[in-house]
Amino acid sequence: MYSIGIDLGSVASKGVVFDGQKVIAKVILPTGWSPQKTGEKILKDLLLEGGIDRNQVKAIVATGYGRGILSFIDKKVTEITCHGVGAYFLDSEIRTVIDIGGQDSKVIKIDDKGNVIDFLMNDKCAAGTGRFLQVMANALDLDISQLSQVAEGAVPQNINSMCTVFAESEVVSLIAEGASKESIAAGLLQSVANKTYSLISKVGVQNKVFFSGGVSQNPLLKRYLEEKLGITIYTSDMAQYMGAIGAAIIGYNI
For residues 62 and 45, what is the distance between their CA atoms, to the nearest angstrom?
A: 16
Strands 75-76 and 96-100: unpaired
Residue 219 vs residues 123, 132, 224, 229: alpha-carbon distances, Å: 23, 17, 9, 15
Closest CB 170 distance from a copy of itself, rounded Å? 12
Beta carbon nearer to a copy of itself, 154 or 162: 162
Q: Which residues ranging from 163 to 192 are in contact with ligand SF4 (CB under 6 A)?
A: 163-165
Angle at 197 between CA 62 and CA 117, to 5 degrees: 50
Verify binding: residue 162, a copy of itself, rule CB under 8 A: yes
Binding at 221: pick from a copy of itself, ligand SF4, none (beta carbon under 5-8 Å per type): none
Window contacting ligand SF4 (CB under 6 A); options: 46-54, 86-94, 160-168, 228-236: 160-168
Backbone angles phi, psi at 153, to 5 degrees: 90, -10
Task: Report the residue from 98, 108, 116, 126 that binds ligand SF4 according to the rule CB under 6 A.
Answer: 126
Tell me the C-alpha distance between 16 and 6, whole Å: 7
Radius of gyration of the chain (CA): 19
When the beta carbons of 201 and 207 are compared against a copy of itself, the nearer one is 201
Q: Are 220 and 151 in contact (CB under 8 A)?
A: yes
Work out what residue 131 binds among a copy of itself, ligand SF4, none; the CB cut-off runs from 5 to 8 Å by kind.
a copy of itself
143: three-class secondary structure by DSSP:
coil
Does 121 contact ligand SF4 by CB under 6 A?
Answer: no
- At its nearest, how many Å lie between a copy of itself and the CB of residue 125? 5
* Candidate residues 43, 46, 80, 126; the one interacting with a copy of itself per rule CB under 8 A: 126
CB of 13 to a copy of itself, least distance (A): 17
166 sits near a copy of itself (criterion: CB under 8 A): yes
- E-strand ranges in the chain read 2-8, 12-18, 23-30, 57-63, 75-76, 96-100, 105-110, 116-122, 209-212, 233-234
Task: State how far the Cα of 129 lies from the Cα of 213, in Å rounded to an integer.
Answer: 10
Q: Which of 17, 98, 135, 186 binds a copy of itself (CB under 8 A)?
A: 135
Taking the complex as a whole, the smallest distance from the CB of residue 161 to a copy of itself amounts, in Å, to 8
- Per CB under 8 A, residues contacting a copy of itself are 103, 124-126, 131-132, 135, 161-166
Footprint on this chain of ligand SF4 (rule: CB under 6 A): 125-127, 163-165
